[in-house]
């Protein structure tokens, strides 16, 4: 894999590599313990998307409306171990990121030596995007873990011989399949393998017919259940993923979006590491001084960044959409920093990111730190949901006691629906409690709650309507024959902000037809007070 020159200049002797591995274990283990302490002590509540994933985990499947199934499977596992409290819902994120850092060490050690492994693990562990992702449950943690296993196996293919090579090829296919079951952004890796095969003679030598067949077979077998689920559900997950690209936007070719996306990567990956990754790729590429490991890692890190940057230019892109680049990117950055002997830059860059990591843990443990630093707006979506749901439950109980059972409690926003499902699980799970339903705004379902629990005439006989901020209240009122008892509940989030929900009774659900072109209901003649 490495040339003799690289081996003599970069690789550390075995005792030093063992020491680098021990230091990596200590660093990753200590950081993971701190993250677990923060998870189990934080008063911050589940973000509504996290509550949605928890809801999915109550009924295991091979796919869901907007995401592949891995995240629901992980939550099912951790909550069956420890219960449904917030830390157990989020537990796998911190553990998976720790495991990914260890795999990254092994990748870097094989390509650049043990000390590069330690540095790469540190860069990844302290990456701002990983710091944030470790404190919540989302699809990025399992995606990056299985991508790291895929790249590790791909590196090993170059040095292993049969029959071990065949087992590694099959394991690589299974790991990539699991990455797809985590997030469809894993598709970049397929392109990376093809690109590396096309431009590198060394890449072509690592494959033989048997290894290729085993890789493809294991990949297809792992992914097949999700493909079958999508086929039986009109490819809803694939369609939702494609819709996120927003290519139907009327504001195409936006330089501002492109600049904002590139700038955001300094925040996601870290200022120094991303500058090294971007600058090193341009400079070494122009000078034609890329080594074989450099080229391999660029094939895995560049495509996600380039493609998502293009997506930002023609439409829009979220900062984390190129996250698949940063497993290989962490290794590549570490290799270059050590090759350039940039010790002061390494220490300074990691110190900045360590300060951010410590600050984020402090914010998780004590939200007063958030308020004191004026960052409350960034945490508003993990506050006040329990109180919001309790206000809904209180009104539901009052209506049931005064006028008899409700036919449903219906929401106009999936965030409120997901929060009610989680924080109201003890109440809404009781026999005789009104079921949770979703009022569907458009002609077609836009999320899983609308697809699986839409409000209809049966559940709309006498429903308690919950409208977040009252935004859709006029449209909802149009869909019922009668409405009464408006109550506006407000939940304080911090000193300046509160969350409003409009609660009212609606009877006789008879929805107006949606426009066949826009999918929207007719515009109401009045606005909410």
- Rounded Cα distance, 384 and 45, in Å: 8
DSSP string, 457-503: TTTTSEEEEEEETTTTHHHHHHTEEEEEEEEEEEEE-SSS-EEEEEE
Helix, strand, coil % in the chain, rounded to nearest 5: 65, 10, 25
Q: Are 509 and 524 in contact (CB under 8 A)?
A: no
Is residue 408 classed as helix, strand or coil in its secondary structure? Answer: strand
Write down the residue that tokens 């909410």 correspond to: 528
Angstrom distance (rounded) from CA 57 to CA 418:
13
> How does DSSP classify residue 138?
-
Give the integer Cα–Cα distance in Å for 368 and 55: 30
**What pLDDT tens digit does each residue of the chain (529 aa) get?**
444 444 444 444 578 889 999 999 999 999 999 999 999 999 999 999 999 999 999 999 999 988 999 999 999 999 999 999 999 999 999 999 999 999 999 999 999 999 999 999 999 999 999 999 999 999 999 999 999 999 999 999 988 878 899 999 999 999 999 999 999 999 999 999 999 999 999 999 899 999 999 999 999 999 999 999 999 987 877 777 766 665 555 466 788 888 999 999 999 999 999 999 999 999 998 988 999 999 999 999 999 999 999 988 888 888 888 999 999 999 999 999 999 999 899 999 999 999 999 999 999 999 889 888 888 888 888 999 999 999 999 999 999 999 999 999 999 999 999 999 999 999 998 888 999 999 999 888 888 899 999 999 999 999 999 999 998 999 999 999 999 999 999 999 988 889 999 999 999 999 998 877 777 777 776 554 4
What number of CA atoms fall less than 13 Å from residue 17's CA on the CB side?
16
Secondary structure string (H, E, C) spanning 226-278: HHHHHHHCCCHHHHHHHHHCCCCCCCCCCHHHHHHHHHHHHHHHCHHHHHHHH
The side-by-side arrangement of strands in the sheet containing 462-468 is 436-438, 408-411, 462-468, 498-509, 480-492
Phi/psi class of residue 372: alpha, beta or left (left: φ > 0; alpha: ψ in -120 to 50)? alpha
Is residue 125 within 8 Å of 101, Cβ to Cβ?
A: yes
Structure tokens at 345: 């830059």
Contact 141, 148 (CB under 8 A): no
CA 367 and chain centroid, separation: 23
Q: Which residue has the tokens 């970069």?
A: 10
**Ramachandran class of 431: left when φ > 0, alpha when ψ lies in -120 to 50, beta otherwise:** beta
Count of beta carbons in the 10 Å neighbourhood of residue 123: 31
Give the 3-state secondary structure of 39-107.
Answer: HHHCCCCCCHHHHHHHHHHCCCCCCCCCCCCHHHHHHHHHHHHHCCCHHHHHHHHHHHHHHHHHHHHHH
Whose CA is closest to 143, among 217, 90, 93, 81?
Answer: 93
Radius of gyration of the chain (CA): 25
Phi-psi region at 432: left, alpha or beta (left = phi > 0; alpha = psi -120 to 50): left
Handedness of CA 209, 210, 212, 216 (dihedral sign): positive
pLDDT at 88: 98
pTM score of the predicted model: 0.92
Q: Which two tokens stand for residue 122?
A: 């540190």
Q: Determine contact, residues 339/116, Cβ cutoff 8 Å.
A: no
For the record, the structure tokens of 459 come out as 């559940």
Q: What is the pLDDT of residue 248?
A: 53
- Spatial CA neighbour of 242 closest among 142, 315, 137: 315
Contacts of 167 (CB under 8 A, 6+ apart): none
Q: Is 38 exposed, middle or buried (0-12, 13-18, 19+ CB in 10 A)?
A: buried
Backbone angles phi, psi at 218, to 5 degrees: -65, -40
112 contacts 43 by C-beta, under 8 angstroms: no
């Amino acid at each position: 894999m490495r040339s003799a020159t690289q081996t003599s200049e970069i690789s550390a002797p075995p005792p030093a590599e063992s020491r680098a591995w021990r230091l990596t274990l200590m660093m990753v283990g200590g950081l993971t313990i701190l993250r677990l302490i923060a998870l189990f002590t934080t008063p911050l509540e589940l973000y509504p998307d996290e509550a949605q994933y928890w809801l999915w985990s109550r009924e295991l499947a091979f796919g869901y409306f907007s995401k592949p199934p891995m995240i629901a499977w992980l939550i099912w596992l951790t909550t069956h171990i420890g219960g449904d409290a917030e830390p157990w819902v989020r537990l796998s994120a911190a553990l998976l990121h720790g495991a990914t850092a260890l795999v990254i060490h092994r990748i870097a050690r094989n390509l650049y030596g043990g000390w590069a492994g330690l540095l790469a693990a540190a860069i990844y562990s302290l990456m701002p995007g990983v710091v944030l992702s470790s404190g919540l449950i989302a699809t990025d943690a399992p995606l990056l873990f299985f991508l790291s296993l895929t790249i590790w196996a791909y590196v090993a293919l170059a040095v292993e011989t049969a029959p071990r090579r065949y087992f590694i090829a099959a394991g690589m296919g299974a790991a990539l399949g699991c990455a797809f079951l985590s997030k469809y952004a894993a598709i970049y890796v397929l392109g990376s393998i093809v690109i590396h095969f096309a431009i590198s003679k060394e890449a072509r030598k690592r494959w033989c017919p048997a290894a290729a067949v085993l890789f493809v077979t294991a990949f297809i077998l792992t992914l097949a259940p999700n493909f079958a689920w999508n086929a039986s559900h009109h490819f809803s997950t694939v369609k939702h993923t494609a819709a996120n690209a927003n290519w139907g936007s009327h504001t195409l070719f936006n330089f501002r979006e492109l600049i904002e996306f590139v700038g955001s990567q300094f925040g996601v990956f870290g200022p120094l590491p991303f500058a090294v990754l971007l600058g090193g790729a341009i400079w070494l590429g122009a000078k034609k001084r890329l080594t074989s490991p450099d080229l391999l890692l660029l094939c895995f890190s560049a495509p996600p960044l380039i493609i998502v940057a293009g997506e930002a230019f023609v439409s829009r892109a979220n900062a984390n959409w190129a996250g698949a680049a940063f497993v290989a990117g962490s290794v590549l950055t570490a290799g270059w920093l050590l090759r350039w002997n940039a010790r002061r830059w390494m220490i300074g860059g990691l110190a900045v990111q360590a300060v951010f990591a410590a600050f984020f843990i402090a914010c998780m443990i004590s939200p007063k730190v958030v308020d004191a630093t004026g960052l409350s707006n960034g945490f508003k979506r993990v506050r006040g949901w329990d109180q919001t749901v309790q206000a809904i439950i209180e009104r539901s109980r009052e209506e049931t006691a005064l006028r008899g059972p409700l036919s449903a409690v219906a929401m106009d926003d999936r965030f409120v629906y997901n929060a009610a499902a989680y924080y109201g699980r003890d109440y809404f799970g009781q026999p005789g409690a009104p079921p949770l339903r979703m009022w569907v705004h458009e002609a077609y379902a836009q999320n899983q709650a609308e697809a699986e629990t839409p409000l209809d005439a049966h559940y709309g006989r006498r429903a308690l309507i919950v409208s977040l901020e009252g935004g859709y209240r006029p449209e909802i009122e149009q869909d019922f024959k009668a409405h009464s008892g408006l109550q506006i509940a407000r939940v304080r989030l911090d000193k300046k902000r509160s969350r409003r929900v409009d609660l009212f009774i609606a009877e006789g659900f008879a929805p107006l037809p949606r426009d066949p072109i826009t999918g929207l209901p007719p515009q109401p003649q009045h606005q909410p007070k």
